[in-house]
Amino acid sequence: MKRLLQDIRLANADKNYNILQRTDRNIIDEWRVHNLFYDMHVFRPHTRTVDLESPQRWYFRIAYRIFRIFDIHTTRF
């Protein structure tokens, strides 16, 4: 995942995209939670894509961090 994010950032360095404003760790955490919920069929219409909002809502940041602390993610990665 990190390599993919680096490639995207390099290809779009001159643009003002949200992916350029957030850390790799933050994006990967969101990506993993979306994958987990999608695989569990939870909020599927919302979790089929990662929206990468910036600034990220505080309660999403807390939720993603909790999932990271407990190492809760899918077996995809």
| pLDDT tens digits for range 6-32 | 898 889 888 878 777 888 888 888 888
3-state helix, strand, coil in the chain (%, to 5): 60, 0, 40
Q: Using pLDDT thresholds of 50, 70 and 90, give the confidence band for residue 1.
A: confident
The residue type at 11: A
Average predicted confidence (pLDDT) for the chain: 82
Distance CA 24, CA 6 (A): 9
> Half-sphere exposure (CA, 13 Å, Cβ side) for 15?
9
pTM: 0.70
Of the chain, the percentage scoring pLDDT greater than 70 comes to 92
Of the chain, the percentage scoring pLDDT greater than 90 comes to 0
